[in-house]
Structure 1
Amino acid sequence: MIAIVMGVSGSGKTTIGEQLAARLGCGFSDADEFHGPANKAKMSAGIALTDADREPWLQAMHEAIADQARQGNDHVFTCSALKRRYRDVLRGDVADVKLIFLDGPREVLAERVGKRRGHFFAATLLDDQLANLEPPQADEALILDIRKTPDEIVEEIVQVLSAGDREGGGACEASRRE
């Protein structure tokens, strides 16, 4: 099973993704690992990425997702996955991909992004991400409120994945043992 924790900057993707992977005993990869230097430089300068800028990044992430799935590994990825088309590229033909959308109000997101230090994402790009966001619907992703604590969010994800496993939907090894 591949889980993609998604949302705009400041939604807590990395925090939740790392905690979820640790809880489930899965591998973890952050989308930032897949951005090339040119994309990071643009974002540091406050320049929004175009679809053309994002294409190699999305393809690299898809290849990593597909590779983990081919190897039979459970793995947690994080990615903004702003548009449905991006999510389609990420999933490709990988069957067992679970999307987890971290959703919250702009004020909370802006406060979080403003407090970050040492990250290449310029806080001014949050509004661009929100403008481009095509929120997934409940039939595409598990939707969670970022105003809950990370522990509450991770627990809810584990419960949903465990329920899916009991229904034949798959989950990471640790949730199977619970």
Structure 2
Amino acid sequence: MTGRGGREDASSRPRVVVMGVSASGKTSVAARIAEAIGARFVDADDLHPAPNVAKMAAGTPLDDDDRWPWLDAVAVTLAGDDAPVVACSALKRSYRDRLRAAAPEVVFVHLTGSPQLLAARATGREGHFMPPALLRSQLDTLQPLEPDEAGIEIAIDAPVAEIAQTALEWMDARAR
């Protein structure tokens, strides 16, 4: 793996999910990582079926029945031949297990922050279908990475470039 702005063959790239609750910076960090390793970036929010988007936009949290078809679409994308970098909440272990079933070699970059910082970020966002009021439900649902899950937790109290670089360095060290 290069991780330093170089391009590499998709077969040598890790499959990466940048995970965390709403407003943690998943999209920005995942896009930066994808650019650095020459991978396609996918925002899992774009894979939500219209009823899920409408439900969240109305301020109603998704339940597991809502999430399973969406996670299956994310899993298909993640397992694709091009080894993308995906921004996906992946809040529960069972959701990550679903993604791992399709792409066993996936690694997770879990972006973490205080509820206060996350709330401030969520409130400051415009044009996103996920209202700040649903942040609490995501925090309540979140199950951090467990020791047997390939991943790293990174605090979001740093610039996006620094967060992405930390993830890239971890992935580089893992690949050695």
Fold shared by both chains (TM-score > 0.5): yes
Aligned match for 2:115, one of 106, 112, 132: 106
Aligned match for 2:51, one of 38, 44, 55: 38
TM-score with structure 2 setting the length: 0.89
Q: How many residues align?
A: 162
Unaligned runs of 5+ in 2: 1-13
Cα shift readout 1:96-135 (whole Å, capped 9, x = no counterpart): 2111100110000000000111110011000000011111
SS at match of 2:136: helix
Percent identical residues: 41
Cα shift readout 1:4-36 (whole Å, capped 9, x = no counterpart): 000000100000011111111111101111101
Whether contact under 8 Å (2:76, 2:102) holds in the other structure is: no
Give the CA RMSD over aligned residues. Answer: 1.1
TM-score with structure 1 setting the length: 0.88
Whether contact under 8 Å (2:56, 2:131) holds in the other structure is: yes
Aligned match for 1:58, one of 54, 60, 71: 71
SS at match of 2:158: coil
Which residue is equivalent to 2:168?
158
CA distance in 1, matches of 2:156, 2:111: 6
Which residue is equivalent to 1:15?
28
Which residue is equivalent to 2:37?
24
Which residue is equivalent to 2:15?
2
Larger CA deviation: 156-165 vs 106-115: 156-165
